[in-house]
Each structure stands twice: as C-alpha cells, then as structure tokens.
Chains A and B, each alone.
Chain A
Amino acid sequence: ILNVEQSPQSLHVQEGDSTNFTCSFPSSNFYALHWYRWETAKSPEALFVMTLNGDEKKKGRISATLNTKEGYSYLYIKGSQPEDSATYLCALPVEGGNKLTFGTGTQLKVEL
C-alpha cells in the first residue's frame, strides 16, 4: 500500500493571504504525482501532473513544486480568493501503473 499523506487536514485563511500545503510520499520508486482540486458538490478536477525532481508547475495563482529525493510536493496559492475554497488532493500511481492512491486532502476555506 502506498502511503500518501497530506497536511494540514484543513486550513482557514483570509482573502488575499498566500498559503501552501504539503503532500508527502515514499521517495523510492517515484513515477509521478497528481494534484487535483475538488470543490464541494462537484467532481475532482486535475490541476497538475508532476514527474521530474525540481519540477515546478503554475496555473494562474496556483503553483506546485516537487522534491522526489525527500518525498514531498508543495502546492502554493498566491492571494487566495473565496473561489479557491476547495479540497486539494494529491495522488500517486501505484507501482507506476494506472491505479492512483489518493491522499485524504487539504480542505481550504478562504474567508472574506
């Protein structure tokens, strides 16, 4: 079983704050890491797929970095807005195949 951990479990920030959270995973046999954004009452939406150590991806105010040697990825949100409120999931493929193991997510709430 692949152990994927996310922290913190939940986060409340004010509009305009920048924030970040972590996905930790076993550093051996890394293949890829996926970040998803999941709004309440909707379905998970893909944000990034990261495959290389040192990889950095960006989409608007959201960016992610990857450190495969130490087994973590950070997701950053700059200038949080209420519409950023969602659960952010990371997932890794089991043994490099097509099955993903998901972390339990970080629930972000951005308050006015």
Chain B
Amino acid sequence: DAGITQSPRHKVTETGTPVTLRCHQTENHRYMYWYRQDPGHGLRLIHYSYGVKDTDKGEVSDGYSVSRSKTEDFLLTLESATSSQTSVYFCAISASLAGEADTQYFGPGTRLTVL
C-alpha cells in the first residue's frame, strides 16, 4: 500500500469555523491531490499540487485553499466551513514519471460533517 495518511479521519465542526485537513505521504511523490466524494457526483478534484509551493485549482475549488510547504504534506483548508462542505475528502498522490500515464494512489479518507 502507498504510504498515505490523512488526519483527522473524522471531524464534526460548526458552520463558519475554519478547518484544516492534512495529507501526509512517505513515497516522495511529486503530485498530490484533494478530492471530495458526494453521492451522484463521484470524486471531484478540489485542488492539486505539482511540487512544493506549486498548486492549482480543480473542478470544485471555491471555499477551499491548499498549501504545500514540504513534499510530504498537503493541507486542505476550509476557510469558513458550510454545510455544503459536508463530505468525505480523499487525498491522492502520483509519481508523474515522464512518458507514463500516472496511477493515483488514495489515502483512507476524512469524513467531515459541518453542522
């Protein structure tokens, strides 16, 4: 199994509070991703990173920010949590080797509930 951990694994918070989710990898992979999983939508990309301090938006980035100060850590912050951000959040990593179609490896997920 790829060495990916997410913390916390479960969180309940209140509307309007900031929340930070952490993804940690031990694989030294260049690319890291944050997805959310919602019924009827499958997995949707929130943000991704292609290197330290290099990030870009995904399909559903509004209300989220990210940071990557070290190769191994990718943080997802909900600046002011809303009930619509209740979801399961997955982190993924990929090696992005030249000429290969990269497999993404997923972390265990974080279940976030915003009351």
Contacts and interface: CB of A to CB of B under 8 A. Distances in A.
* A and B associate: yes
Nearest to A105: B42
Indicate the size class of the contact surface on chain A: 20 to 34
Given A98-B50, A100-B45, A46 B103 contact: yes
A98 B42 contact: no
Contact of B106 (A31, A44, A103): A44
Contacts, number: 48
Interface residues of B, number: 24
A49 interface: yes
Contacts of A44: 43, 90, 106
B71 interface: no
Interface string B3-36: 0000000000000000000000000000101000
17 contacts: A31-B101, A34-B104, A42-B108, A43-B109, A46-B105, A49-B103, A51-B101, A89-B42, A93-B101, A98-B50, A98-B102, A99-B33, A101-B59, A102-B44, A103-B42, A104-B40, A105-B42
